[in-house]
C-alpha cells in the first residue's frame, strides 16, 4: 500500500497571511486524518513563513497516523525533531530563504554530514528519508549513508507528464528499482496532483508514501477537503 501524507504547510501560509489562528493548523491535522489521510507532513523553515516550530509541537499529540517532518538538518531542526520524535524525518538540502524545494541532495558530496545526521536520528528511533533527484548515483550514495528511505523529487516528472508521460517516468522507475535492489524504500513528492499521481503509482511498485500539499490544498478550495483527500486516495489504487 502507498500511503498518502498530506502536507499542511499551505494551511499555515494562509493563516499567517492574516494573523491569528484561522484557518487552524490543528483542525486541519485532525480533519485530514479523519477524512482518510494516512499521514501528516510539515516542513518548518527557519523564517517560519508557514509552519512554525510552535505548530510542530502542538500538532504532535493530534497525530493518529504518521508524522513526517521535512527540513534542512541544522542544529535547531535536529534538536526539535529529537524532542518531538515524529515517525519520519525527511532531510532536504534547502537554503534558509528558498521558496520551495527544487533539488535533491548530492549524497556523495555531503556523505559525511548526512551519515552523522542519519545516525543521530536513528539513535532516537526515527525513520529517515533523504530527498534525492531520480539519479542512480544519488540513490547509491543514499544506500552508503544507510538511510531507511529516499524521497524522489518529482517536479521534473510533473513538468514533463503532460507532454510525454512515459518519458517523464523513466528516470523515476529506474531510480526506484535501484533503491529496491539496495534495500531502500521509496517515497515521492513535489508537484504530484490528481492528474499525474495514478500513473506514477502504477509504474513504481515499491512506492511507500507520497507527500502532497500544494495541489491537494488547491483542489480542496473547489472540491472540499474530504472529497479531495478521497480523490487522492483513489489515485493510489
Catalytically active residues are 43, 70, 190
Q: Which three cell numbers stand for residue 32?
A: 485530514
- Alpha-carbon distance of 175 to 181, in angstroms, equals 10
> Is 175 within 8 Å of 136 (Cβ atoms)?
yes
Cell (9 digits) for 30: 485532525
Residue 77 CA to residue 80 CA, distance in Å, equals: 5
Listed in sequence order, the DSSP H helices in the chain are: 9-18, 25-34, 53-59, 75-84, 111-123, 136-145, 155-160, 165-181, 197-203, 214-223, 225-235
196: Cβ contacts below 8 Å, ≥ 6 apart: 157, 158, 161, 165
CA distance 25 to 130: 26
Q: How far apart are CA 146 and CA 107, in angstroms?
A: 11
Amino acid at each position: 500500500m502507498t500511503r498518502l501524507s498530506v502536507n499542511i504547510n499551505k494551511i499555515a501560509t494562509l493563516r499567517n497571511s492574516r494573523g491569528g489562528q484561522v484557518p487552524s493548523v490543528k483542525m486541519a491535522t485532525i480533519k485530514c486524518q479523519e477524512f482518510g489521510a494516512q499521514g501528516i507532513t510539515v516542513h518548518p523553515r527557519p523564517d517560519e513563513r508557514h509552519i512554525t516550530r510552535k505548530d510542530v509541537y502542538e500538532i504532535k499529540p493530534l497525530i493518529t497516523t504518521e508524522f513526517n517532518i521535512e527540513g534542512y538538518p541544522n542544529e535547531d531542526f535536529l534538536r526539535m525533531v529529537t524532542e518531538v520524535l515524529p515517525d519520519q524525518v525527511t532531510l532536504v538540502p534547502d537554503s534558509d530563504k528558498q521558496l520551495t524545494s527544487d533539488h535533491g541532495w548530492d549524497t556523495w558530496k555531503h556523505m559525511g554530514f548526512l551519515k552523522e545526521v542519519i545516525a543521530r536520528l536513528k539513535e532516537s528511533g526515527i525513520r529517515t528519508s533523504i530527498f534525492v533527484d531520480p539519479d542512480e548515483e544519488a540513490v547509491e550514495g543514499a544506500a552508503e549513508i544507510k538511510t531507511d528511505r529516499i524521497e524522489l523529487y518529482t517536479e521534473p516528472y510533473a513538468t514533463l507528464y503532460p507532454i510525454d508521460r512515459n518519458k517523464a517516468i523513466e528516470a523515476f522507475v529506474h531510480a526506484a528499482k535501484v533503491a529496491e535492489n539496495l534495500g531502500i524504500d521509496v517515497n515521492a513528492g513535489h508537484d504530484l496532483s490528481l492528474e499525474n499521481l495514478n500513473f506514477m503509482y502504477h509504474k513504481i511498485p515499491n512506492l511507500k508514501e507520497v507527500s502532497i500539499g500544494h495541489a491537494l490544498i488547491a483542489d480542496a478550495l473547489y472540491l472540499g477537503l474530504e472529497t479531495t483527500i478521497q480523490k487522492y486516495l483513489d489515485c493510489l489504487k
